[in-house]
Structure formats: structure tokens, C-alpha cells
Amino acid sequence: MEEVASVFRAVGNMKHRCILYIIYSGGLRLSEVTKKDRYTLLSERTLELLRMYFREFKPKDWLFEGSEGGKYSDRSVQEIFYKAVRKSGLKRHATVHTLRHSFVTHLLEQGTDIRYIQELLGHSNIKTTLIYSHVTRKGIDGIRSPLDSLNI
């Protein structure tokens, strides 16, 4: 979580920060922030930032418009992310899709059921969702044997 936070802290531009917040806040695919709609989570913090962004930038046709108008391209969003990663000093390889993986990992670590995560990611098949899930030490360390809950 600290690595994600460090990437966000490296973004000074409000519009760019909104874009990355939305991706992570809802576990979006790159295409879902630039091309197509999907229902998912929107954090309170992201909503607050979006309200400030909207008041300042007053977008006309697209929520995120380029300096010449029109919607942001996938490549522009990728470049925003790569610059933030470089500026944050993060040493590991990361892409915009890494934010989606981080979203899933952090939900799993918080104890969110995989079936809810499947719905949030927009997957019709649980096997697709399971690709994103990997066992983390944090999750394993928090599991207690059911024997410890027996009144014996």
C-alpha cells in the first residue's frame, strides 16, 4: 500500500492524480478510464478530489480532456503513470494495470470475499478473478484454526 501511496504522492497535477485515483479506487482497466463505462467502487477521497477537479477544470465533453480538447488516450494515461513511478523512486516494474492488481491485493488483505471482488472487477467467470489473487503473507498470518474457536 505504501508503494501505491508513494506513486500518488509523486503526482502534482490534479487531473493526473484524479485519473490514477479513479483507476485504483475502482480497480479499473485502462480502457475503462478512457473508453468504456463500468460500475464499481469510488472512494470518498477520490470523490472529493473529483469535485475539486471539476470546479477547476470544468470539463465539457469528457471527464478528462486533453489540453487541445477531446478525451485522453490510453498512451497519455500510461505516460502519466510511468512518470509518477519514476518520480516516486519505485524500483519495481509497474504498469497502469498494476494499480488494478494492487486494488485486488489490498481488498483481499482487508478480508473482502473473492466473489465480491469478482463483481467489482466485472468478471463473469471466477477463474478470471482468481488470476489476480495470490496468497499474501499478511492474509495467511491472520488465519486462525477453527479448533481455536471450539468451546472444549
Query: Does residue 133 surpass a pLDDT of 80?
Result: no
Radius of gyration of the chain (CA): 18
- pLDDT for 20 equals 97
> What is the tens place of the pLDDT at every residue in 20-64?
999 999 999 999 999 888 889 999 999 999 999 999 999 988 899
Query: Does residue 137 surpass a pLDDT of 70?
Result: no
Question: Mean pLDDT across the stretch 61-79?
Answer: 90
Q: Compute φ and ψ for 71, nearest 5 degrees.
A: -80, 160
Closest CA to 62 of 48, 77, 45: 77
Domain ranges of the chain: 2-139
What is 2-139's CATH number? 1.10.443.10
